[in-house]
Chains A and B, each alone.
Chain A
């Protein structure tokens, strides 16, 4: 054990967290009680459509269960506050077997597959997830998981770093807004299916700009500024050693919002991951209004009416961007090796990443060495030899970009092609292919240790 697992301050801090949970759940219980069968008064307005979920308001059993849970949190908080003379012996902590099990699962491929599966599950099970109780339970679980994990030294090193506080809050914020989207969208989908008017039309939140909106904005502005000031005072920005051109901190992490890009750089050449792909992301986002031919779902939430648009965007945003930020923050350690969240950061952790270029694999399969231009040959000859060496990769990449779009146009995207016309469809197809190229390259790296499909370091051209 290289660090102290628990200190009294940590226990005390966690006590506050549990107290917060107790209060939150107390409020939740109170709300349920007020909306309960006894005093149910169909206040369907402000809180969306609790009405559907709590047909006649939550039952007494429901309220009781939640009151017991908040009581439990309170007791746990008290246990934390009362403290102990020997922090190491404190009992409320993440069990070792859970830690080792989680760490054993630490693997980029597993993580990425898991994030995709989670994404699919969220979409498929959206009807259950939008239930406020489900969401509340999930929130409780995640906070408790966080709190228990904080008892681990290595986890605390990552999450407790002032740098990473925004990332943790981002996780909850992204979760909340995804939930909100699905809740509104499923509600509207049901309304459309039943032929009723949309939520936005029926129950719109229009307010007067002056004074209602301006005041709200002013209050938000003041509150946010205060929050930032307090944050800036309480959580100091970590200062590292003086910068040096010859010494790079280990691990060297990008600002949190760029960690997705940094992860991309693991699989691609700098000009690909640092220039081409980011530009395509930006241009692609700008092109959305021109590509989108679906006129429905405009100005209101809907999932069924915009399945393709929503799924594509969410795939790019949740697993490919947020997911990679999480990966970069919590799971990458020294030497950019992959570490479990409870695993000590050992700079000498040995990970065998012997990567090979496609051309090398190919020529080895053919049983010979890659063709090399005779030394002293001219630029033209060298070019020809390089093309010969890399022909397979070049053909594959060209096929991917040239053959796939028409193929898509006549198969799964036939309707799209008919409605979008040539140019718009090909822009769309290429954007999709470029988005897909990241997971594809990741898979190839993990499964075949493939370094580059086309590797022409002579011209700084690697794909």
Chain B
């Protein structure tokens, strides 16, 4: 421990790994090949750590065929089968290990754990041969300060994940006793040590959630029903409002005097203010000599045009629409002729205008005999 230059920068994981490594090397009467295998696994672990760091960036291609798991498995396998093919492995590993990864790269807890476990297991099983615990120790010591110095520490979450993985790892390792049978073949995407929520809170959450599921729909339904009811009530009230008991407005049918009051070729504006009609006597429209009641509402946007005697046209002050004496639109934006109201000669010989009906030229309704009084 004294060798570690900056203890403050050691993470729990680093310390843990370091201790384990020490214990393991102390126990081991490791074969000659072991330290090499371990070292290679170790180095590779560094490298993988670096690689997974790179792989976080989307552009970085995952070239290396190893994941932490694979290394773990391989290391464990090498430990277990250390007696069988130590030399082979030792020779097989270094090339991968020497892919230029500097040993000073920061590592994740997982990798360190893996390395440590590998060395520990190897220590127990491997046949004895020129054991060099010091070498392993040295290696670790060299690595630890570097890792510590580099300052990149695994987060608490990563550590938790690693521990959890470790818990389940032995089973995996037992299933695959021969490391060679599980060669690192595919580039496995780096693990994202993300939220693996703790089991207990999850259960609680779920229960609360289920309870909410039962309550919320009914609350929603109630809210909607209430909203719909209120809207419907308002709508009905509005409807009632549109049908008043008493209507204070002049009757839509009214007498405007005998036809003789309206000379040929004139526009009478005397009913404009009171009743909103012009009484027009003209034969401009299709040559029929008629008296009509024109509405004083502009067909563009509803302003009230003025009758200009000099120009013989109705002219709207709002956007400049113009209508001929017979009500046909000819200038400005008005899209349709002025509307006619119903007009007829009553029994007493007076002209009677019915404002409740209207006749639109563009619909061909001016042909209707109720829309004019022929003279």
Contacts and interface: CB of A to CB of B under 8 A. Distances in A.
Contact of B320 (A245, A266, A347): A266
A248 interface: yes
Given A246-B304, A248-B303, A375-B364, A335 B333 contact: no
Given A246-B272, A248-B304, A274-B301, A265 B335 contact: no
Contact of A350 (B273, B306, B311, B333): B311
A411 interface: no
Contact of B316 (A335, A352, A451): A335
Contacts of A462: 335
B98 interface: no
A348 interface: yes
A335 B315 contact: yes
Interface string A71-91: 000000000000000000000
A457 B336 CA distance: 6
B8 to A, nearest CB: 38
A130 B333 CA distance: 41
A353 B311 contact: no
Contacts of A245: 276, 304
Interface residues of A, number: 37
Contacts of B300: 265, 269-270
B296 interface: yes
Nearest to A355: B331
A188 interface: no
Contacts of A248: 303-305, 316-318
A383 to B, nearest CB: 13
A450 B278 CA distance: 29
**B301, B315, B319, B332: residue with the most chain A Cβ atoms closer than 10 Å:** B319
B367 interface: yes
A263 to B, nearest CB: 8
Contacts of B364: 375
Contacts of A96: none
Contact of B363 (A250, A350, A458): A458
Nearest to B302: A270
Contacts of A352: 331
Contact of A336 (B274, B310, B316, B335): B316
Nearest to A274: B301
A247 interface: yes
A353 B334 CA distance: 12
B318 A455 contact: no
Contacts of A274: 301
Contacts of B363: 458
A348 B301 CA distance: 22
A248 B272 CA distance: 12
A252 B318 contact: yes
A334 B221 CA distance: 58
Interface class of chain B by DSSP:
loop
A265 B299 CA distance: 13
Interface string A269-313: 110001000000000000000000000000000000000000000
**A337, A451, A455: residue with the most chain B Cβ atoms closer than 10 Å:** A451
A160 interface: no
A245 B303 CA distance: 9
A91 to B, nearest CB: 38
Interface string B276-313: 10000000000000000000100111011110101100
**A244, A246, A269: residue with the most chain B Cβ atoms closer than 10 Å:** A246
A377 B105 CA distance: 89
B330 interface: yes
A250 B317 contact: yes
Interface in A17-38: none
A460 B299 CA distance: 10
A337 B331 contact: no
Interface in A214-251: 244-251
A354 B331 contact: yes
A151 interface: no
Interface string A328-349: 0000001111000000000110
B322 interface: yes
A327 to B, nearest CB: 13
Contacts of A262: 318-319
A321 interface: no
A258 B310 CA distance: 32
Contacts of A252: 303, 317-318
Contacts of B320: 266, 335-337, 351, 353
A153 interface: no
A182 interface: no
A425 interface: no
A199 interface: no
A417 interface: no
B362 interface: yes
A266 B333 contact: yes
A251 B301 contact: no
Nearest to B332: A353
Interface string A109-124: 0000000000000000
A391 B331 CA distance: 23
Nearest to B361: A457
A347 B313 CA distance: 13
Contacts of A455: 335
A403 B360 CA distance: 36
A351 B305 CA distance: 16
B50 to A, nearest CB: 33
Contacts of A249: 317
A372 B301 CA distance: 26
**B315, B331, B332: residue with the most chain A Cβ atoms closer than 10 Å:** B332
Contact of B276 (A246, A347, A350): A246
Contact of B335 (A269, A350, A353, A375): A269
Contact of A246 (B273, B330, B362): B273
A336 B332 contact: yes
Contacts of A244: 273
B73 to A, nearest CB: 46
Interface string B157-171: 000000000000000
Contacts of B311: 348, 350
A354 B330 contact: yes
Contacts of A337: 320
Given A336-B319, A457-B362, 12 more contacts: A246-B304, A247-B273, A248-B317, A250-B317, A252-B303, A266-B319, A269-B335, A274-B301, A335-B316, A351-B320, A353-B320, A457-B299
- Smallest CB-CB A-B distances: 3 pairs: A336-B320, A353-B331, A250-B317
Interface of A: 244-252, 262, 265-270, 274, 334-337, 347-348, 350-355, 375, 451-452, 455, 457-458, 460, 462
9 contacts: A246-B276, A249-B317, A250-B306, A250-B317, A266-B332, A269-B333, A336-B317, A451-B335, A457-B336
